[in-house]
Amino acid sequence: MDVVAYNRQAWNQQVEQGNPWTVPFSAEVIAEARQGRWAIVLTPTIPVPRSWFPDPLSGRDVLCLASGGGQQGPVLAAAGAQVTVFDNSPAQLARDREVAEREGLAIRTVQGDMADLSAFAAESFDLIFHPVSNLFAPDVRPVWRECYRVLRLGGALLAGFANPVRYLFDVELADQGIFKVRHRLPYSDLTDLTEEERQRYLAQGTPLEFGHTLDDQIGGQLAAGFVLTGFFEDRSPDEVFTEYLATFIATRAVKPGG
């Protein structure tokens, strides 16, 4: 099936349903960002260290990759960056335009697949901000290669992604506190669910997910040419695994040179 097209519609539906990652930031948050008081996340809860961002941020070309929803992009624009938000979901991009119009911000929005950044020339950006979203892409290595291509020398990729261990277990049993290993890695909703489960996902419009290995997530960044300069783990308060391990990872990777 066309995963990109399916997940586009699924995330349009998530906007209609009020998913927390689709709710635009308030005017108060944007006003604080204009005063230099801001924090944004790549993973569920931990703010990204300010040392991970260019200093100064003002005037830098920033790509918010698969980062629609009226949240990170508007904050970075209010902080002075020249922001482009790229996302698969038109409804998510509409959230960013909504905040931009409300707050008088200059934000460019572009709709497309995160694995194909052909809309941008090589070395177009100083920073890429890529919060947890590549779990919706069947193959993550093209994402890293495209990020490397569109970054300028010395530019940084800030990425959040899922620890693949969260895909090992039977989800329904885990919700009951029973952790039974069911799946191998890498994981795919397309091939690792039963036909009944898959049809239920499709009928509900649930976004399709893919559990990429750390070899593809971290090794893929290195293979693309990046040098890792930052790393932390995070936990989601909404996941049953939180008591036992961190299920999300954030990395800072730099394109050498410059």
Confidence of residue 240 (pLDDT cuts 50, 70, 90): confident
Using the 8-state DSSP alphabet, how is residue 238 labeled? T
pLDDT band for position 17 (cuts 50, 70, 90): very high
**pLDDT tens, position by position, 70-121:** 999 999 999 999 999 999 999 999 999 999 999 999 999 999 999 999 999 9
Q: Do the domain assignments include residue 170?
A: no
Which pLDDT does position 214 carry in this prediction?
98
pLDDT exceeds cutoff 80 at 258: no
Considering the domain boundaries, does residue 26 fall inside one?
yes
In a domain, 91, yes or no: yes
Give the pLDDT of residue 150: 98
Q: Does residue 215 lie in a domain region?
A: yes
Strand, coil or helix: what is 126? strand
- Domain assignment present for residue 9? The answer is yes
Range of the domain at 73: 3-163+210-254
CATH code: domain of residue 239: 3.40.50.150
Kindly state whether residue 75 falls inside one of the protein's structural domains. yes
Q: How many domains does the chain have?
A: 1
pTM equals 0.97
Residue 176 lies in a domain: no
Distance of alpha carbon 190 from alpha carbon 173, whole angstroms: 20
Q: What gap in Å lies between CA 43 and CA 66, rounded to an integer? A: 13
List helix spans (H) across 151-187. 171-174
| Residue 181 in domain | no
Q: What is the pLDDT of residues 129-162, one digit of tens each?
A: 999 999 999 999 999 999 999 999 999 999 999 9
Task: Compute the distance between CA of residue 101 and CA of residue 78 in angstroms, rounded to an integer.
Answer: 12
